A and B are shown apart, each in its own frame.
Chain A
């Protein structure tokens, strides 16, 4: 489609239109990030001597690496839960028509548009020792004591999955809608049951959507400062709070910059991995 467009429209001056944004990005996106890297190479808080001191001190301390690892792992867990719960919803929403689909879209889009602080705050009340979930569990006799959900990793995973769920459902919906129904019909006609068709046909075909959703959700989950701190509390230390504490509470900019750089690179590496997965899965299907 883009090719046809390119052929039909005059080429004169088209790339120049992207210049203003490019300039804006150089000034206000690239420059700050470069500055971040530069500042991370100061050995002391007052920024007088240069060196790799901050990186050495980050990597030599097992506890720092644990914080990084646990943050990255948290993202994986929350993304997995989000995928597991979001896929069926996307499946139904993609098949729905008219009013039903409008309803699904409303349910999915409304959370993204509501403030993340508001949505996470609601969970604080729900997950507490005397919150809704515990009250229900105790009333149903499923628990004799309140279950620790607030200030626990389980709570953080649950809330993250819910808060970021729309980012998973929307790309999935788009991809599922585009899958030619002939494939599923052919599979059924050849004798495969519903489950088999799903795992062998639908799922692989929807890979691009799955990967797209996972990328968006993962990126959001690992940097979800509000959710981490409101639900996880101060005892569960993840990278965003760690960076914030060092940068704002302790005013140690070089160290905070170094952790930020390490964090960004880690997240980018994981996302690059997912993108490569997506390319290879597409190659598998389309040959």
Chain B
């Protein structure tokens, strides 16, 4: 029996003790805990930097923010239906939001628990959950490599960009909205994406990569893998602020946009806390901070005047926001699973 090295009994004993200790809940404090979904890229950044501290200051509760695409949130909530949901606050783009309502995954938003709800502009006050912002898309490009700024989606098809274009899959709204827009421009509507798929096929030689989500997509710009591509207004500005050479342009055919809203998940045990979290996102203070560069999040609170880059690049006054291109998300939701399958097959190398 060797003396050096641990005695096996001791190891077993230590192991069993460790296991027992591990099984105990590891909460340092017994305060309430909220798990909120957030989007990747800029979103998780602003939520971490601004929303989390404001929320914690307001309630003192523990907070976890988990990054998930809207479609993934729906998938997880559906899988957990009937029991405790895996997170308490959902953040959804218009399409998935309609889905969530239809599937009974979220509860109606209670304005009584949310003092700032009434301060939102009318179009953003929805009974199922307030809109926290509008997102819009256009083209992002590297001004060091591309000297003449693009002006329309057609520029992505330009042969001189072979192997340099980036788009996202249909799992993210960024990708879906792009597909819906080229569909619209090709003469189609939300009932069928055939015109879009025909057009997409001709784009394949130009593609450098298709990203599974917009966070990875932004990363490709940062790494120089992609020189031009579909991109969200907000993310472009954030990338720019990190020193990545990138510029955003709106396309001449009209800027596709959609609302992004936050919701309280059904059956969550912390409904009040969830309402407070969402309410914090609606406050004038937070929305003003988020509107500043480099985040440029479009505000929905009536008391926050449009300013900075949002004003100069997107909308001078709130009514301008209504002039963008909107889609019928109910119709899109109906076809999305089939289109996702078709898209995954078409982009294959």
Partners in one complex: yes
Contact residues in B for A234 (Cβ distance below 8 Å): 169, 209-212, 344, 347
Report the nearest A residue to B349, measured CB to CB. Answer: A235
Would you give the shortest CB distance from B334 to chain A, in whole angstroms?
Answer: 14
Of B163, B171, B344, the contact of A237 (CB 8 Å cutoff): B344
Chain B 196-231 near chain A by CB (<8 Å), digits 1 or 0 = 000000000001111110000000000111000000
Chain B 65-76 near chain A by CB (<8 Å), digits 1 or 0 = 000000110010
Q: Are B223 and A128 in contact (CB under 8 A)?
A: yes
A interface list, Cβ under 8 A from B? 63, 124-125, 128-131, 148, 150-151, 153, 229, 233-237, 245, 248-251
**A-B contacts, 7 listed (Cβ < 8 Å):** A125-B223, A128-B223, A235-B347, A235-B349, A245-B344, A250-B341, A251-B75
Q: Are A128 and B225 in contact (CB under 8 A)?
A: yes
Q: Are B72 and A248 in contact (CB under 8 A)?
A: yes
Number of interface residues, chain B, beta carbon within 8 A: 25
Instruction: Give A249 to B347 CA distance when docked, in angstroms.
Output: 17
Q: Are B337 and A235 in contact (CB under 8 A)?
A: no
Contact residues in A for B345 (Cβ distance below 8 Å): 63
Main secondary structure of the interface of A (DSSP, over half): loop
Would you give the shortest CB distance from B242 to chain A, in whole angstroms?
Answer: 15
Of A130, A237, A249, the contact of B348 (CB 8 Å cutoff): A237
Q: Are A249 and B71 in contact (CB under 8 A)?
A: yes
A229 with B224, Cβ < 8 A, contacts A235-B349, A250-B337 known: no
Q: Are B78 and A251 in contact (CB under 8 A)?
A: yes
Contact residues in A for B169 (Cβ distance below 8 Å): 234
Instruction: Give A96 to B242 CA distance when docked, in angstroms.
Output: 49
Q: Are A249 and B340 in contact (CB under 8 A)?
A: yes
Instruction: Give A251 to B99 CA distance when docked, in angstroms.
Output: 14
Main secondary structure of the interface of B (DSSP, over half): mixed
Instruction: Give A213 to B17 CA distance when docked, in angstroms.
Output: 37
Instruction: Give A41 to B330 CA distance when docked, in angstroms.
Output: 31
Given A128-B224, A234-B169, 5 more pairs with CB closer than 8 A? A130-B224, A233-B210, A249-B75, A250-B337, A250-B341
B interface list, Cβ under 8 A from A? 71-72, 75, 78-79, 163, 169, 171, 207-212, 223-225, 337, 340-341, 344-345, 347-349
Contact residues in A for B208 (Cβ distance below 8 Å): 151
Q: Are A130 and B223 in contact (CB under 8 A)?
A: yes
Would you give the shortest CB distance from B68 to chain A, in whole angstroms?
Answer: 11
Q: Are B72 and A233 in contact (CB under 8 A)?
A: no
Total A-B pairs, Cβ < 8 A: 57
Question: Closest 8 A-B residue pairs measured CB to CB?
Answer: A130-B224, A234-B210, A235-B349, A234-B212, A128-B223, A151-B209, A235-B347, A235-B210
Contact residues in A for B224 (Cβ distance below 8 Å): 128-130
Would you give the shortest CB distance from B146 to chain A, in whole angstroms?
Answer: 15
Of B171, B211, B223, B349, the contact of A249 (CB 8 Å cutoff): B171
Report the nearest A residue to B79, measured CB to CB. Answer: A251
Instruction: Give A63 to B26 CA distance when docked, in angstroms.
Output: 48
Of B71, B341, B349, the contact of A236 (CB 8 Å cutoff): B349
Contact residues in A for B344 (Cβ distance below 8 Å): 234, 237, 245
Contact residues in B for A229 (Cβ distance below 8 Å): 212
Q: Are B210 and A129 in contact (CB under 8 A)?
A: no
Contact residues in B for A249 (Cβ distance below 8 Å): 71-72, 75, 171, 340
Instruction: Give A27 to B341 CA distance when docked, in angstroms.
Output: 34
Contact residues in A for B225 (Cβ distance below 8 Å): 128-130, 150-151
Report the nearest A residue to B212, measured CB to CB. Answer: A234
Of B75, B79, B209, B337, the contact of A233 (CB 8 Å cutoff): B209
Instruction: Give A235 to B79 CA distance when docked, in angstroms.
Output: 27
Instruction: Give A233 to B345 CA distance when docked, in angstroms.
Output: 14
Instruction: Give A131 to B209 CA distance when docked, in angstroms.
Output: 16
Would you give the shortest CB distance from A76 to chain B, in whole angstroms?
Answer: 19
Report the nearest B residue to A125, measured CB to CB. Answer: B223
Contact residues in A for B340 (Cβ distance below 8 Å): 249-250
Contact residues in B for A125 (Cβ distance below 8 Å): 223
Report the nearest A residue to B204, measured CB to CB. Answer: A235
Would you give the shortest CB distance from B254 to chain A, in whole angstroms?
Answer: 28
Instruction: Give A95 to B236 CA distance when docked, in angstroms.
Output: 56
Most chain A CB within 10 A, of B171, B211, B223, B344, is at: B344
Q: Are B349 and A129 in contact (CB under 8 A)?
A: no
Instruction: Give A250 to B342 CA distance when docked, in angstroms.
Output: 13
Contact residues in B for A131 (Cβ distance below 8 Å): 223
Contact residues in B for A63 (Cβ distance below 8 Å): 345, 348
Instruction: Give A153 to B79 CA distance when docked, in angstroms.
Output: 34
Instruction: Give A233 to B220 CA distance when docked, in angstroms.
Output: 11
Instruction: Give A81 to B208 CA distance when docked, in angstroms.
Output: 26
A233 with B211, Cβ < 8 A, contacts A248-B75, A249-B75 known: yes
Instruction: Give A148 to B349 CA distance when docked, in angstroms.
Output: 13
Instruction: Give A150 to B225 CA distance when docked, in angstroms.
Output: 9
A148 with B163, Cβ < 8 A, contacts A63-B345, A249-B171 known: yes
Report the nearest A residue to B164, measured CB to CB. Answer: A129
Would you give the shortest CB distance from B217 to chain A, in whole angstroms?
Answer: 10
Contact residues in B for A233 (Cβ distance below 8 Å): 209-211
Instruction: Give A233 to B217 CA distance when docked, in angstroms.
Output: 11
Would you give the shortest CB distance from A85 to chain B, in whole angstroms?
Answer: 26
Instruction: Give A220 to B207 CA distance when docked, in angstroms.
Output: 30
